[in-house]
Chains A and B, each alone.
Chain A
Amino acid sequence: MKTIFDIDTPGVSGWEPPRWDVPEEDEIPKKYLNNGIHLPDVGEVDVVRHYTELSTMNFGVDSGMYPLGSCTMKYNPKINEKTASLSGFATLHPLTPDSLSQGALEVLYELGGYLCRITGMDRFTLSPAAGAHGELAGVMVVRKYFEKKKEGRTTILIPDSAHGTNPASVNMCGFEVREVPSSETGDVDVTALSDMMDDDVAAMMLTSPNTLGLFDRNILTIAKILKDHGALFYCDGANLNAVMGKAKITDMGFDLMHINLHKTFSTPHGGGGPGAGPLGVTKELEPFLPAPLVDQKDGVFFLDDDRPDSIGRIHSFYGNFLVCVKAYTYIRMLGSDGIRKVAEHAVLNANYLMHRLKTDYDLPIDRPCMHEFVLSDHGIPNNVSTNDIAKRILDYGFHAPTVYFPLLIHGAMMIEPTETESRATLDRFVEAMQEILREAQRDPDLIKTAPHTTPIGRVDAVTAARKPILNYDAAE
Chain B
Amino acid sequence: MSFIPTTKKDTEDMLELIGVTSLDGLFSDIPKEIKHIGAVDLPEALSEIEADMLLSRLSDGNRRLSVFAGGGAYLHYVPPVVDQLANRSEFYTAYTPYQPEVSQGTLTAIFEFQTMMCRLSGTEVTNASMYDGATALSEAALMSVRDNKKTRFVISSAVNPRYREVLSTYGWANDLEVVTVPAAGGVTSLADIAARLNDETGAVIVQSPNYFGSIEDVEAIAGKLSGTKTNLIVVVTEPLSMALLKSPGSLGADIVCGEAQAFGNPVGFGGPCLGFLSAKNRFMRKMPGRLVGKTTDSKRNDAYVLTLQTREQHIRRDRATSNICTNQGLCALRAQVYLALLGSRLRDMAILNHRLAGLLKRTLSEIGVTPVFDAPYFNEFVVRVNNARKIRDALFDKGYLVGILLEDDYPDLTDCLLLACTELNAPPDIDALAIDLKASLTS
Contact = CB atoms under 8 A, between A and B. Distances in A.
Given A39-B119, A316-B259, A321-B269, A168 B313 contact: yes
Contact of B65 (A58, A100, A164): A100
Interface string B55-82: 1111111111101010111010001010
Contact of A351 (B26, B51, B73, B316): B26
A156 to B, nearest CB: 10
Contacts of A77: 3, 48
Given A423-B10, A457-B297, A471 B111 contact: yes
A61 B303 CA distance: 22
A420 B270 contact: no
Contact of B168 (A10, A170, A312): A312
A325 B299 CA distance: 44
Given A24-B355, A103-B62, A460 B297 contact: yes
A63 interface: yes
B30 A129 contact: no
Interface string B369-387: 0000000111000000000
Interface stretch (B87-95, B198-206, B223-231): B87-95
Nearest to A137: B169
Contacts, number: 711
B4 A419 contact: yes
Interface stretch (A29-37, A189-197, A372-380, A434-442): A29-37
Contacts of B95: 66, 68, 71, 73, 269, 271-272, 399
Given A102-B62, A132-B323, A337 B27 contact: no
Given A25-B355, A315-B166, A316-B72, A133 B135 contact: yes
A79 B59 contact: no
Contacts of B327: 130, 272-273
B443 interface: no
Nearest to A272: B329
Contacts of A220: 31, 33-34
B299 A20 contact: no
A123 interface: no
B391 interface: no
Given A75-B3, A95-B69, A321 B268 contact: yes
Given A94-B270, A129-B135, A171-B318, A54 B104 contact: yes
Contacts of A5: 112, 115
B162 A131 contact: no
Given A54-B104, A271-B333, A89 B135 contact: no
B266 A339 contact: no
Given A215-B30, A351-B18, A457-B101, A248 B297 contact: no
A355 B327 CA distance: 35
Nearest to A343: B27
B152 interface: no
A215 B56 CA distance: 40
A290 interface: yes
- Interface size classification for chain B: 35 or more
A132 B317 CA distance: 13
Contacts of B404: 95
A129 B131 contact: yes
B2 A23 contact: no
B104 A470 contact: no
A393 B271 CA distance: 36
B28 A368 contact: yes
Contacts of A247: 27, 30, 34-36
B40 A336 contact: yes
Given A314-B135, A355-B18, A464-B293, A394 B39 contact: no
B137 to A, nearest CB: 9
B310 interface: yes
A15 B345 contact: yes
A275 B5 CA distance: 25
Nearest to B165: A313
B190 interface: no
Interface residues of A, number: 204
A457 B313 contact: no
Contact of B293 (A34, A103, A469): A469
Contacts of B1: 333-334, 338
Given A83-B51, A368-B28, A88 B23 contact: no
B104 A18 contact: no
Contact of A321 (B103, B270, B308, B359): B270
Contact of B349 (A17, A41, A251): A17
B51 A332 contact: yes
Given A217-B31, A312-B169, A164 B314 contact: yes
Q: In the complex, which of the residues B111, B134, B174, B301 has the most CB atoms of chain A within 10 Å of its own CB atom?
A: B111
Contacts of B91: 55, 58, 60, 270-271
B297 A40 contact: no
B355 A22 contact: yes
Given A54-B105, A168-B313, A171-B319, A314 B166 contact: yes
A218 B440 CA distance: 67
B358 A37 contact: no
A13 B345 contact: yes
A117 interface: yes
Given A329-B51, A468-B307, A20 B427 contact: yes
B51 A333 contact: yes
Contact of A114 (B42, B71, B245, B324): B42
Contacts of A132: 313, 323-326
Interface in B4-41: 4-6, 10-11, 13-15, 17-18, 20, 23-24, 26-31, 33-36, 39-41
A474 B307 CA distance: 15
Nearest to A7: B340
Contact of B296 (A63, A139, A163, A460): A460
A251 B31 CA distance: 10
A274 B79 contact: no
Nearest to B267: A93
B247 interface: yes
Contact of B124 (A107, A165, A246, A474): A474
A473 interface: yes
Given A89-B59, A335-B42, A40 B29 contact: no
B96 A271 contact: yes
For the complex of A and B, the 10 pairs showing the least CB-CB separation, nearest first, are A103-B61, A317-B270, A270-B330, A272-B329, A335-B45, A94-B270, A88-B59, A58-B105, A60-B93, A312-B169
12 contacts: A15-B342, A26-B358, A51-B340, A54-B104, A79-B52, A101-B269, A172-B322, A268-B92, A339-B40, A345-B6, A459-B303, A470-B307
Given A5-B115, A95-B404, A316-B133, 17 more contacts: A1-B303, A24-B355, A54-B105, A58-B90, A79-B51, A130-B327, A132-B325, A220-B33, A270-B329, A316-B134, A325-B55, A334-B42, A336-B40, A338-B45, A469-B295, A470-B307, A472-B111
